[in-house]
Amino acid sequence: MAFFVCHTPAHAELQVVNINASDAVPKTEISFSPISGTFTQGSTFEVPIYLNTKGSNIGALELHISFNPQVLSVVKPSGGSSIIGLWIEAPSYDNTNGTLTFIGGIPRGITTSSGLIATITFEAKRVGTSELTLRSTSRVLVSDGVGSPAMYESNRVRYTVVATPPGGVTVTSETHPFHDHWYNNNSPSFIWNAEPGITGYSTAFDNKPNTIPDNTVKTAGTIQSYENVGDGTWYFHVKALKNNVWGATTHYEFKVDTEPPAQFTPEINYITAAVINRALVSFFTTDALSGVDHYEVGVIDKSKPATESPAFFRTESPYQIPFETVQHARLIVRAFDRAGNVQDASLDVSTPFVFTLFIKNHATSILLIIVLLLIAIGLIHYFYGHHIARHLRTIWGIITNAKKLERLENPPKRGKKKE
C-alpha cells in the first residue's frame, strides 16, 4: 500500500490519497479445466492448464501445483502443444507429496486469452476427492526486460473418484442352458456368480432384450426362479450393487414352447404290383412356435399281445411298411418339435385284397362307367316306356313302303333295239 501526500495552500485542508500498489501490477488468470468431474477408480483423465494474460505480455511462468496423492497420481505431467517455448526445468511431479512443477519461458512474450500451458494426465487411484490448487510460490513474470512480476488469479477445482462399477454378472441356467434352444420347461431357474463387496442385486424379467432393472435391491442371493412362464422368447436381467455403485446389466435370453405340433392324420398308399408286399405311409404337420424337428415311427404287430410296446425310430415321410413281416399292424407316427413336445397319430394297416385294391386304385374310372351305364339304361327305359321304338318302326315302314310304291309307278325305261 502506497501513501501519497498532496501539498496544498496553507489555508486548504491536507488531502491524503491511498493507492493500492497491487492495482498497478498487471493481472493474469491461470485456470484448470474442467473445474469439477467424477471419475471411476482406475481410470485416467486429462486436465489442461490455460493462461489468460488479460492484455499483458507474459514472458515466463513458474507454477507449483498441489493435489491429494491419496486420491490422484500423475501419469504424465505434460503432453501435446504448449505456449512454453523454453523449459527452464523439465516438468516434474511427486506422487508421494502430491506436487507438480512447471518452470518455463516464452521468448518475446505472449498475449493471449487461452494459451495452453500444459496438460496433466491423472490416474484416479482411490475413492475420494482431490482439489487442484496453485501454491503461493507460483509466479508469473511480465516480458518487460526485467521480469517484473504479474498478479495472477486461479480457479480452484475439485475432482471426485468413485468406485469402479461391478461388471455384468455371469448368469447360467440349469433349466435353460442354451440361448438358441427351445425348452418345454416353463419354470426357469437362474444362478449367477457372487463377487466380494457386492451388497445386493436388482432383477427384472420380461420379453424385452435391453431392459435395465431399477436401482432397488431385490435380492441379496444369487438364485432366481419363476413359474408358469408363457410360451415365447424371454429375458432375465440382473445387475449388482457394489460400494453404492450399480454395475452393468446382464441380459439372459431363453425360449419356452409347451405346445405340441398340430394334430395330423397319416395317409396310406399301396404299391401296385403282381403281389402287394409294401405300403407307403405319408405324414406331415406343423408347429407354430419352435417348428417341427423330426418324426419317429413305431409299428405294433396286432397279432401279438397288446401289452407289447413298439420300438420307435427316426424316419422321414413317406415310410414303407413291408408286409412280409407284419400282415396286420398299427403304425404310430410321432412328431417332435424343437422343444421336445410330441404329437402322436396312428393308423391301422393290413394287407388288402387285390379286388379291393383294384377298386380303390380305379375308383374314378369305375364311377364313370357306372354313370354311363345308368344313363344308357335310362334312355332305353325312356324309349320303350313311351313306345318311341314302335313309332320309329312305323315311320320306318311308311318310308320303306313309299319307296316301293314309287318304283312300281315309275319303272325304269329300257333302251330301243338296233335294227
Domain of 86, CATH number, reads: 2.60.40.680
Kindly state whether residue 6 falls inside one of the protein's structural domains: no
Per-residue CA distances from 81 to 78, 92, 119, 238 (Å):
9, 17, 9, 46
Burial of 215 (C-beta count, 10 Å sphere; 0-12/13-18/19+): exposed
What residue numbers bound the domain in which 325 lies?
267-357
Kindly state whether residue 317 falls inside one of the protein's structural domains: yes
SS3 21: helix
Please give the sequence-ordered ranges of beta strands (E in DSSP) within 111-256, or none if there are none.
115-124, 128-134, 139-142, 151-154, 157-162, 171-172, 182-183, 189-192, 198-206, 223-225, 232-242, 245-246, 250-256
pTM over the 0.85 mark: no
Residue 408: predicted pLDDT = 67
SS3 396: helix
Per-residue CA distances from 104 to 62, 90, 101, 290 (Å):
7, 8, 10, 73
- Nearest-CA neighbor of 124 among 83, 90, 175, 73? 73
Kindly state whether residue 387 falls inside one of the protein's structural domains: yes
Helix ranges restricted to H, 205-333: none
Indicate the range of 28-32, 40-44, 131-135, 385-389 predicted with least confidence. 385-389
Residues 366 and 387 in one domain: yes
Listed ranges 75-84, 266-275, 331-340; the one with the highest mean pLDDT: 331-340
**pLDDT tens digits along 43-89:** 999 999 999 999 999 999 999 999 999 999 999 888 678 999 899 98
Cα dihedral 172, 177, 182, 187 in deg (nearest 10): -60
Q: Any idea what the Cα angle at residue 258 is, between residues 254 and 261, rounded to 5°?
A: 120
Whether 122 contacts 81, CB under 8 Å: no
Kindly state whether residue 156 falls inside one of the protein's structural domains: yes
Residues 32 and 148 in one domain: yes
Please give the sequence-ordered ranges of beta strands (E in DSSP) within 257-356, or none if there are none.
267-270, 278-282, 292-301, 313-315, 319-322, 328-337, 342-350
Residues 150 and 32 in one domain: yes
Chain-centroid distance of CA 376 in Å reads 73
Number of folded domains that form the chain: 4
Cα–Cα distance, 77 to 74 (Å, whole number): 6
Residue 218: predicted pLDDT = 94
Residues 109 and 196 in one domain: no
Residues 308 and 350 in one domain: yes
Average pLDDT over residues 338-362: 74
Question: Which helix (H) or strand (E) covers residue 213, if one does?
Answer: none
Chain-centroid distance of CA 310 in Å reads 44
Residue 2: predicted pLDDT = 45
Residues 141 and 204 in one domain: no
Average pLDDT over residues 389-418: 66
Residues 201 and 106 in one domain: no
Read off the pLDDT band of 310 (50, 70, 90).
Answer: confident
